[in-house]
């Protein structure tokens, strides 16, 4: 009986969370080469995350994939805690491991055009005042170097 009641409460809380929750807006801000090895390296991908909710989001984990011109460049998972203040933007740094073979095509396109089409998608796990939520995100756009965007 207690298990049924607990399951019902969990379901009800999740419904309430969805009714009073607005998804954050995730945009790509910057990409920098953090380190290299013989087989690849790590990119420091900076996302701007805007929390439109009237309460803070305590992010405990993010999983993500980075795709450039339909080629999977890299992915990652971070357990770095980030507090997204209500109705405010925060910069979130994500390490993205890549191999040289996966980055070669993206590098050629970037060198030829000065930009690449990208997609950053994944999930954010966060605690809120109305319960725990898993927030999917999928941001697509056009990235060009900061020197060319001025």
Q: Residue 128: which domain range?
A: 2-143
Closest by Cα among 79, 94, 93, 85 to 50 = 85
The CATH number of residue 35's host domain is 2.60.40.10
pLDDT digits (tens, 9 = 90+) for 74-115: 888 888 899 999 999 999 998 989 888 888 878 888 888 888
Is 134 inside any structural domain?
yes
d(CA 96, CA 77): 8
Is 148 inside any structural domain?
no
Is 49 inside any structural domain?
yes
Tell whether pTM > 0.75.
Answer: no
**Per the structure, how many domains does the chain have?**
1
Is 43 inside any structural domain?
yes
Return the DSSP state at 4: H
Residues 6 or more apart in contact with residue 41 via CB below 8 angstroms: 33, 34, 35, 97, 98, 100
Quote the pLDDT of residue 19: 55
Is 150 inside any structural domain?
no
């Amino acid at each position: 009986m207690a298990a049924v009641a607990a399951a019902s409460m969990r379901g009800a809380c999740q419904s309430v969370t969805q009714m009073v929750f607005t998804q954050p807006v995730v945009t790509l801000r910057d990409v920098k080469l953090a380190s290299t090895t013989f087989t690849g390296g790590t990119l420091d991908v900076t996302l701007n995350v805007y929390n439109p909710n009237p309460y803070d989001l305590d992010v405990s984990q993010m999983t993500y994939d980075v795709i450039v011109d339909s080629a999977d460049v890299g992915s990652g998972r971070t357990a770095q805690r980030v507090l997204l203040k209500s109705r405010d933007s925060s910069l979130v740094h994500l390490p993205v491991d890549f191999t040289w073979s996966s980055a070669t095509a993206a590098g050629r396109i970037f060198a030829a055009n000065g930009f690449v089409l990208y997609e950053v998608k994944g999930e954010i796990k966060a605690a809120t005042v109305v319960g725990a939520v898993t927030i999917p995100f999928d941001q697509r756009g056009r990235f060009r170097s900061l020197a060319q965007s001025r």
